[in-house]
Amino acid sequence: MTEISALKAGLIADIEAADTLDALEGLRVGALGKNGVVTGLLKTLGGMSPEERLEKGPPIQDLRESVTAAIAERKAALEQAALDARLASEKVDMTLPADLGPQGSVHAVSQVMDELAEIFADLGFSVATGPEIEDDWHNFTALNIPETHPARAMHDTFYFPDEEGQKKMLLRTHTSPVQIRTMESFVASGQEPPIRIIAPGRVYRSDSDATHTPMFHQIEGLVIDKGITLGHLKWTLETFLKAFFEREDIVLRLRPSYFPFTEPSVEVDVGYTLTNGQRVIGGDGDAPGGGWLEVLGSGMVNRRVIEACGLDPDEWQGFAFGTGVDRLAMLKYGMNDLRAFFDGDLRWLKHYGFSALDVPTLSGGVGA
Ligand code: DAH
């Protein structure tokens, strides 16, 4: 009895004196771990007679409960202290003078979108936009993704609740519906192609981890004209990627793929090489130490899509492509966690942000 109360007093004194979470964890293992003292005492209960157990059991159980409770209490206190220390070191001074001037800078996503607009403007593309709240027709059906198509499930769509007599609405899962809206508006206004547009913007999918956020950015490209071929597509993407990564040695690899809205479809990889252990975009991905990174989805616009928009696919052909703007920014500027893009943390922006005066121009180099 007295031995147990002495043990209890000693353990609790040690626990209360533990000044780090590591030290506390050491004490926990020493008492309650597989070979801990308290665990050892609990094991002796099995070998006792019922009478002996009735006498010695309660103080041993009490020892275990008291030690467990003391550890939990000390752990909470240490964690609270760590949090307080962090909050104190990270505090924002709300009394800073208002005349300090804006602290923000241009976000990497905005910068990359400006770079893309600049590059494609030079190739004769204009910028088109569409609504982020879309209907089924533009986001799926007109893009040759009918109701039963498995691609619908793959898009992890955010749907709005059904409303009596209303079209089913959703948050667009890609910028491809802007292809449809652009072709439709050409037809509606009696304008004839050529069409050359890019469509940057926000898209939404119910997905979240280090490389996926529920809202992210895509850019879409669409060209509709007569006699357009895969060669035009490849040249355009090569020219774009050379300007974007500011390197002449960009090597593309076109892989056959499948998208409902293009036929044939190709996924586009760019080669990278290892420089000081870092992946650097450029060079032949098949060279030793090199590899390929997927950067774009693309293809020749499916004739069913052209038809759905009211154009004659025997007369008009084209190509389309789509890619993630956030991912392009990560590749170009070496960021590794997509979630930081949307934290609104001024420290991140100070590190990765761009000056408002640093407007990308082709002649000056679209890089920062
Ligand atoms: N919309 C596709 C996606 O979000 C990307 C894409 C692939 C766009 C091929 C295109 C294309 O225009 O031709 O995954």
CA distance 347 to 139: 37
Closest listed residue to residue 109, CA positions, set 35, 201, 4, 186: 201
| Cα distances (angstroms) measured from residue 156 to each of 132, 176, 203, 215 | 15, 16, 12, 12
Domain identity same for 114 and 261: yes
Q: Among the atoms of ligand 1, which is closest to the Cα of residue 299? A: 13
Residue 31: other Cβ atoms inside 10 A: 23
CA distance 219 to 223: 14
User: Could you tell me the distance, in angstroms and rounded to a whole number, from the CA of residue 180 to the centre of ligand 1?
Assistant: 13
Residue 11 counted as domain residue? yes
Residue 95 counted as domain residue? no
280, two tokens: 């650097």
The backbone torsions φ and ψ at residue 102, rounded to the nearest 5 degrees and listed phi first, read -60, 140
Helix, coil or strand: residue 261: coil
Domain identity same for 209 and 71: no
Query: According to the model, what pLDDT value does residue 98 have?
Result: 74
Domain identity same for 115 and 82: no
- Provide the domain limits for residue 162: 108-343
pLDDT tens sequence for the chain (368 residues): 578 899 999 999 999 999 999 999 999 999 999 999 999 999 998 889 989 988 888 999 999 999 999 999 999 999 999 999 888 888 777 787 777 777 778 999 999 999 999 999 999 999 999 999 999 999 999 999 988 887 777 678 999 998 888 888 999 999 999 999 999 999 999 999 999 999 999 999 988 777 788 999 999 999 999 999 999 999 999 999 999 999 999 999 999 999 999 999 999 999 999 888 888 999 999 999 899 999 999 999 999 999 999 999 999 999 999 999 999 999 998 888 888 898 888 889 888 888 877 777 766 666 54
Ligand 1 binding pocket, CB closer than 6 Å? 174, 176, 220, 259, 262, 297-299, 320-322
Annotated binding site for Mg(2+): 263
CA distance 208 to 22: 32
Domain identity same for 116 and 263: yes
Closest listed residue to residue 316, CA positions, set 254, 234, 188, 226: 226
Residue 102 counted as domain residue? no
Domain identity same for 81 and 114: no
Helix, coil or strand: residue 163: coil
Residue 325 counted as domain residue? yes
Query: According to the model, what pLDDT value does residue 9 have?
Result: 93
Strand partners, 201: 218
Residue 114: other Cβ atoms inside 10 A: 18
User: Could you tell me the distance, in angstroms and rounded to a whole number, from the CA of residue 259 to the centre of ligand 1?
Assistant: 7
Query: According to the model, what pLDDT value does residue 219 have?
Result: 98
Residue 294 counted as domain residue? yes
Closest listed residue to residue 270, CA positions, set 278, 261, 279: 279
Domain identity same for 285 and 174: yes
Query: According to the model, what pLDDT value does residue 1 have?
Result: 52
Q: Among the atoms of ligand 1, which is closest to the Cα of residue 261? A: 13
Domain identity same for 130 and 268: yes
Domain identity same for 182 and 304: yes
Helix axis angle, 108-122 to 325-333, nearest 10° = 100
Q: Give the residue from 60, 89, 118 where a domain finishes.
A: 89
Residue 103 counted as domain residue? no
Domain identity same for 259 and 124: yes
User: Could you tell me the distance, in angstroms and rounded to a whole number, from the CA of residue 140 to the centre of ligand 1?
Assistant: 12
User: Could you tell me the distance, in angstroms and rounded to a whole number, from the CA of residue 298 to the centre of ligand 1?
Assistant: 6
- 195-204 vs 126-127, strand pairing mode: parallel
367, two tokens: 């890089």
Closest listed residue to residue 115, CA positions, set 247, 255, 246: 246
Domain identity same for 82 and 168: no
How many domains, in total, are found in the chain?
2
Query: According to the model, what pLDDT value does residue 368 have?
Result: 45
Residue 94 counted as domain residue? no
Q: Which of 170, 176, 216 to mutate to test the pocket of ligand 1 (most atoms within 8 A of CB)?
A: 176
User: Could you tell me the distance, in angstroms and rounded to a whole number, from the CA of residue 175 to the centre of ligand 1?
Assistant: 8
CB 200 within 8 A of CB 217: yes
Supply the residue whose CA is at minimum distance from atom 8 of ligand 1: 322
Residue 198 counted as domain residue? yes
Q: Among the atoms of ligand 1, which is closest to the Cα of residue 174? A: 4
The CATH code of the domain that includes 224 is: 3.30.930.10
Domain identity same for 120 and 159: yes
The backbone torsions φ and ψ at residue 179, rounded to the nearest 5 degrees and listed phi first, read -55, -50
Domain identity same for 113 and 170: yes
- pTM higher than 0.85: no
